[in-house]
Structure 1
Amino acid sequence: VSPYYVENGSGTKSGAFSKHYYAGSDRIASKTADDAYFYFTDHLGSTTHITDRSGDVAQYAAYTPYGSLFREYRSVQPYKFNGKELDQETGYYYYGARYYDPSSTLFLGVDPLADKYPGIGGYIYCAGNPIRYVDPDGRDVWEINEAGEITSHIKDKTQDAFYMVAKDADGNYQRTYTTDANGNKNYNSVSFEYGTVENFQSQYSDDAKTTFLWYNVRGDNNGQQLFELFADNTNVEFSQLQLGQKGDNGLNIISTSCDKSTERSANFLLNNQYKFGYTIRGHNHNHPDNTPYPSGLSSRGSDIGFSNSLTNISLRNGSDIPAFKIYLSKTGKYVKYDRNSTIFDFPETTPIIDLSTVTVSP
């Protein structure tokens, strides 16, 4: 169970609810200064009952198939159909990428991927079958900008796909790509079998004053592909924390704090979960400026300090010393280091003297 500060569609903190608690992607509780509320949902994720701290029913709601309120007893929170926020003024639900109008059963914006489904209108909700399907975000892919931020996301029932995006001249996000000699587009993307990305979390940290993002990816090769996609196409640092078994069953945590010169989410995840009995096999991270050596060689902090802490955690858990590597997107190569690395292990850190130019006076 993880605590979150949740922003509403206008980008502000959600009303009187200072903190929300999630199990995976499901909201299970909300806390205010005066009380706590616990959520009960149906198979579509719609909030049906809410109880307060005493166990009394604080809210009850029933819905029509397309999300209009059929019956409601009190209203202590705005998260209703599919667990989405209902705007009381407009009557629209906020789905992240688009707004949805339950009275017309249509989205207010066209699906940017409508060309993938020519038989379904670009405004149609859940292919016209709201009893069976859920549209968590109004779109059906992950799209990531150069700052490492998610611009849109929905779980695709056939695959887990990631696309890099950038703003065009009009300020709209478009998928980025390269072209080959024949003019064919090669999108900066990666896709996996559905379920490869087992979990995603986004959590705001009051202490760090930033949002941590992380993806749980099954399989070392899959984890490496996603890590390198992000490292090659963003200007921020990402981590790849490798846990458990090696190979196809390996668990890879791909994380970022969306900083250009540091990656704070890995340390946060370790302190809150993964230092407690997990087998830690390795940790990779990228340097956006392609610096080919770890930071902290002199101070023994930063990269070197983190590798020392992670090594100590692993040894206390009875595991081997993890492998540490820096990924350089410019060359596509990895640079190895460990907690005992010094400047003498990396010639790039010191000036190289050309002895042929040195003269010795008699």
Structure 2
Amino acid sequence: MHIAYLTPEYPHPKLGNSGGMGTSIKNLVTALVDQGHQVSLFVYGQKADEVFSENGVTFHLIRHIKYRFGGFYFYRKYIQRYLNKHLQEIDLIEAPDWTGITAFMNIRKPLVIRFHGSDTYFCHIEGRPQKKKNAFFEKQAVKNATAFIAPTTFAGTESMRLFNQPIEKLEVIHYGLELENFVNERPENFESKRLLNIGTLIRKKGVFQLIEMFNKLIKIHPDAQLYFIGADSYDVYTGKSSTWELMQEQMTPEAKTSIFYLGKIPYAEVKNEIIKAHVCVFPSLAETLGMVTIESMALQKAVVNTNIGWAQDLIAHGVDGFMHHPDDIDAYVNSIDLLFNDVEKSKRLGQQARKSVEQKFDINKLVHKNIAFYKRILTI
């Protein structure tokens, strides 16, 4: 087959920053090429048009165009024309739900939408109002889809319900990891009582709950440390430009001297930071899956994770990690305290976490599920 992906991000030096969505696409694309399939990437919002091939993948960089008015419509139609011009030999195209990029498009090939996390979904999960414009675009986009893929059961069923789509059109296929790139040769070596959180500093990641947890934890373990990795962000509730500054206001004096913000660092360095950690903590309030959770598990880390919906596909509580609701501050503190005091427990959880990831999130296994799904769509 020849599969195309429409995306605003992808990990590549020419394309700037990329998040979990881009990483998940890259892992799948690499596996598809290894299986002998052709892949084209159409990356919109770029500085200039460019076409090049690399490692068996054809890249189409689509420049961003500013319009005096109606850019939300005219840029989508521009992308549509570009796609249709290059889709002759392509069998199927996949696009994300985010921003409803395929709204108003008439694409001449079967369209699969993967639920990476729409604004509709996140506003619902976080209980905040959604801009009518965003809701309209995303609703229009899903109308054009032949079928849908979601990374977790919760994200899929909630998205299908919110968009009023029949559940029969949904397939749940987890994001996958290239596990050969996640090897921790000495899992017994870590920095004692070092906590790590990875992700954009934003409320939906549970960063304020995590500060509250650490304020309590530092009283029990004065030598504990907490590290944050990720870009700072605007806070939608207060209008402040820096969530990190708001987080600092919440820290007790004792906690403040033991909390470190590393900012956004290269991907290779993130893996090194995971390896150094004693416990990885992700009290997120809104995800579709949470790539950093399974990456930490793959590196044999003890993880204390959120327990909301999507997390049920990731962790078996007490077996390969711990899960609590982000607002249950004491439960997090108790689990971290247990892991700090019981190093063998930390090791056993990390070992089982790796086994779980190998079973459920190996891209070399999951690629076959994606291929089978694409082939089924092509027979409709």
Question: Radius of gyration: which is bigger?
Answer: 1
What TM-score does the superposition give when structure 1 sets the normalisation length?
0.31
Higher share in strand: 1
The TM-score with structure 2 as length reference comes to 0.30
Structure 1 or 2: larger helix share? Answer: 2
Structure with higher RCO (Cα < 8 A, 6+ apart) = 2
